[in-house]
Amino acid sequence: MNLKILLPSKVFLDTEVRKVVAEGQDGSFGLLPAHVDMVAALNPGILSFEDATGEERFLGVDKGILVKRKDEVLISVRNAVSAEKLGDLRRAVEEEFLVQDEREKKVRSSMARLEAGFARRFLEYQKNA
């Protein structure tokens, strides 16, 4: 099977695999080449796959969607990280996702200030009109 992981800004991974294990809303599930075609919502967690050489690999993924169609597995997530060892993956996920959370908080705060300023000026404009 071909596994392709898509982020909003790039293709994170595109490789041949023997097996994929992901975490959905109802728990973990596995996909093999003969698996029925399907679509599943993914929870944030660990995605594992067995590469073409039989080595198991691990990725940390954010929430997203998985589509299995014929011999292709497409996964679209907001963010993904990889590490050489499973223990290192935990630290990489914490660091990357915490940084992303902080950025999102700053953006939400900026948007709230912009919206409040717009509303205030709109009311002033109506009052003076």
Residues 91-118 have pLDDT tens digits of 777 777 666 666 666 666 777 788 887 7
Residue 81 half-sphere exposure toward CB, CA atoms < 13 A: 21
Identify the helix (H) or strand (E) that includes residue 101.
Answer: helix 86-128
d(Cα 49, Cα 43) in Å, to the nearest integer?
Answer: 16
The answer to whether the beta carbons of residues 6 and 75 sit under 8 Å apart is: yes
Ordered by start, the domain boundaries in the chain are 2-128
Residue-by-residue pLDDT tens, the chain, 129 positions: 999 999 999 999 999 999 999 999 899 999 999 999 999 999 988 899 999 999 999 999 989 999 999 999 999 998 898 877 777 777 777 777 666 666 666 666 777 788 887 787 878 878 876
DSSP-derived letter for residue 51 is E
Report CA-CA distances (Å) from 122 to 86, 87, 114, 128. 53, 53, 12, 10
User: Is 7:80 a contact under the CB 8 Å cutoff?
Assistant: yes
Of 25, 69, 70, 73, nearest in space to 48 by CA: 73
Range 2-128: architecture per CATH:
Sandwich (2.60)
